[in-house]
Every structure is written in C-alpha cells, then in structure tokens.
Amino acid sequence: MVTHQNIDQVLAILKRLIRQWEEPIVGHYRHDPFSTLISCLLSLRTKDTTTKGASERLFRLARSPQRMAHLSTRAIERAIYPVGFYRTKARTVRAVCHDLLSRYRGRVPNDLDELLTIKGVGRKTANLVVTLAFRKPGICVDTHVHRISNRWGYVRTKTPEQTEMALRRRLPPRYWRIYNDLLVTFGQNLCHPTSPWCSRCPLERLCAKVGVTYSR
C-alpha cells in the first residue's frame, strides 16, 4: 500500500519511469495560460491523440481570446472534431473567450476561485491552468489521478473532488504541481483502468491493487 511514509519513494520511481513516454498533450501548452485552458477543455473525455490534433487545428485558426471569439461555432466545431462532445465544447470555447474579454480584458486569471467563476471551467481545468501555466500550488485530479490514488490505497474516495480534497490533506505540498503529470502519464501507458500491466510495474509490491480484478 502507498502511504504517507513511502510516498517520496513512490513518486521518485514514477519520475524515472515516465521519462520513456511522451507527456500529456496539455503539458505542451504550459507556457501560455490561454492555450493551456483551451486545450484542457478539449481534452475532457477525449483521448490524448485526438486532443492533440484538435488543439493544433484550432490554434492554427486563433491563438488568443480576441481572435477565437470571432470564429463561428461551426468553424470551431469543424476544427476540433472528433473530440468528445465537440458541439458542446465549441459553444463552451466561444463562451469562455467572451467571458475572458468582458471580465478580464482577455487575460486568463491566475486564481483558482476566479477561474471557477467562468462557465464551463471545472475544478480539474482550473487546477491544471493554475499549476501548469502559472506554476502555483494546486492539485489537478482527473480520472487517472482519482483511479490510481485509490488503487494504491493512498486515499479512499468516491469522486475526483473528494480525491482532490483528500490529497490536499495528505500529499506533501512539494508534490502538488507535479502529481497530475506523473499519474496521468503513468495511467495512460501502464496503470490502465482495466487489465493494468502489474507485471511490468516497478510499484507492484507497494500497490494495494484496490479494485483490480484482472492484470497482465
């Protein structure tokens, strides 16, 4: 089981392990808060390879809230297809751009609570923007982080939001910003939702395997 006592060892192993794999696509845009925000919105319930293509096509059309707000919903839909819920996301992208322009002069706020006031921006997205683009403390919890933290036995929670709050209490602050990057890459490549590669995992002896019924 992963515990407070061995979390340093676990995350040190993960840092070495993930060097062999490409980082999640949203991380490619970490130097621009607006691109981080939009690519994260596109990534929700969508595979990384699909998000990559959609982000590249959309950013070829516009790289600022000013320019993106002038795109039609249909133009955004065509650019981001086939991301999941692409029609809803196209409307959200336009609404977010208009909100940024009307309330923040086109700048992405660097505060978690401010980001959460923007319609369509949830805790995962807000935390990712804060940690990636602004390098401020935060814990971004997506399905990988929620699943693996519980699989390890490090937390016992039922929802991503509960996981975030549990991690804020339990995870040493020095790991907050990097925790998502580590676990998402690990989850995409080895610790899959079903039939994870336990036989290849250097953390196998430390993992409680909560909920694992079949592994390879």
What are the sequence ranges of the domains in the chain? Answer: 7-23+139-206, 31-133
pLDDT at 200: 97
pTM of the model: 0.93
pLDDT at 72: 98
pLDDT at 108: 98
pLDDT at 157: 98
pLDDT at 125: 97
Mean pLDDT, the chain, whole residue set: 97
pLDDT at 41: 97
pLDDT at 206: 97
What is the DSSP annotation of 63-100? SSHHHHHTS-HHHHHHHHTTSTTHHHHHHHHHHHHHHH
Instruction: Provide the 8-state DSSP code for 19.
Output: G
pLDDT band at 100 (very low <50, low <70, confident <90, very high): very high
Segment 34-41 mean pLDDT = 97
Q: Which secondary structure element, helix H or strand E, spans residue 125, and what is its range?
A: helix 123-128
Residue 179 vs residues 8, 12, 107, 128, 187: alpha-carbon distances, Å: 12, 11, 26, 11, 12
pLDDT digits (tens, 9 = 90+) for 105-160: 999 999 999 999 999 999 999 999 999 999 999 999 999 999 999 999 999 999 99
Segment 24-53 mean pLDDT = 94
pLDDT digits (tens, 9 = 90+) for 176-214: 999 999 999 999 999 999 999 999 999 999 999 999 999
- Taken as a whole, the chain contains a residue count of 216
Overall fold of domain 31-133: Endonuclease III; domain 1 (1.10.340)
pLDDT at 67: 98
Overall fold of domain 7-23+139-206: Endonuclease Iii, domain 2 (1.10.1670)
pLDDT at 165: 98
Residue 183 vs residues 9, 32, 36, 104, 134: alpha-carbon distances, Å: 14, 22, 18, 32, 20
pLDDT at 164: 98
pLDDT digits (tens, 9 = 90+) for 57-77: 999 999 999 999 999 999 999
